[in-house]
Amino acid sequence: MICPNCKSENAEGAKFCKKCGAPLKKTISHEKMINSMSGDKSDNTTKIIIAALIIIAVVLAGAFIYLQTSGNSASTQHSSDAQNAASSISNNNAADSSQPAQATQSSSSSQPAQSSSNMKILGGTFSTGSELEDKTYAHINVGRENAGKSVIVQIWYSRDGNTLNHGNMVPVTVDSSGYLDVSSADAYAYYPDFAEINLFDSNSKLLDTQSVSLSPTSGTQSF
């Protein structure tokens, strides 16, 4: 320990200078002071980091618990809705099955058969006017047994391999004689020399198709 008065060196812990008798005070070196301050700052930083980690952990735990609770609630609600729907379907089926079978059969048999699955193109005629501005008319036979049925007819007209129209899908009802009458949407600049007929049921399912070669003149031509 250095005496602050005479700068003599004394033993560590001495209270008075052995040379001049001046009282000695315990001093802390600059290096120790810095180390002490650094240690305090390090401790404070560590404490702040630990506190932040604890806060983050608490927030994450709360969020996880919230999500778990919400998910369980939604699952419970969906399960309840599914059970209610199943119960409703079961009750409806039970109510339907309680009707007499004989009445059901009678109702079914009273409806006329409307199936068009076996409908075919049996023949017909194409007619064009004497002027190119006239439309082309198709008179198509599908059989008297199909009278009253609803179908869709599409006819493509062409001349020398060039299409003349857009092939519109035309809903038609079979008349009492078993024929379908369809006119072209527009007149053409040329008489058609070929026609392709596509016959569909009311659900646009193709039933039959037929290609017809025509003479590119006015008049009525059979096929």
3-state class of 111 per DSSP?
A: coil
Asked if 153 and 197 touch (Cβ cutoff 8 Å), the reply is yes
Q: What is the pLDDT of residue 193?
A: 96
Asked whether the predicted pLDDT for residue 110 surpasses 80, the reply is no
Tens-digit pLDDT profile for residues 135-190:
999 999 999 999 999 999 999 999 999 999 999 999 999 999 999 999 999 999 89
At 219 the three-state DSSP class reads strand
CATH of the domain at 174: 2.60.40
Q: Is residue 30 part of a domain?
A: no
Q: Report the run of H or E that residue 222 belongs to, with start and end.
A: strand 219-222
pLDDT the model gives residue 56:
92
Task: With respect to residue 113, please indicate whether it lies within any of the assigned structural domains.
Answer: no
Query: Taking residues 10-16, what's their average pLDDT?
Result: 82
Which stretch of DSSP H or E encloses residue 182? strand 179-183
Closest CA to 156 of 147, 145, 169, 165: 165
The pLDDT value given to residue 209: 97
DSSP 130: S
Instruction: Report yes or no on 216 lying in a domain.
Output: yes
Q: Per the domain annotation, does 60 fall within a domain?
A: no
Average pLDDT over residues 118-144: 95
State the CB neighbour count (10 A cutoff) for residue 102: 8
Residue 22 lies in a domain: no
* 181 within some domain: yes
- Averaged pLDDT for residues 198-207: 96
CA distance 134 to 220: 13
**d(C-alpha 14, C-alpha 134), whole Å:** 135
Indicate the number of domains in the chain. Answer: 1
Residue 89 CA: distances (Å) to CA of 86, 92, 181? 5, 5, 46
Specify if 79 maps to a domain.
no
Range of the domain at 150: 123-222
Residue 188 lies inside a defined structural domain of this protein: yes
- What sign results for the dihedral spanned by CA atoms 69, 71, 72, 77? positive
pLDDT greater than 80 at residue 30:
no
What confidence tens digit (pLDDT) does each residue in 39-95 have?
A: 556 677 888 899 889 999 898 988 888 887 776 665 566 556 656 655 665 565 555
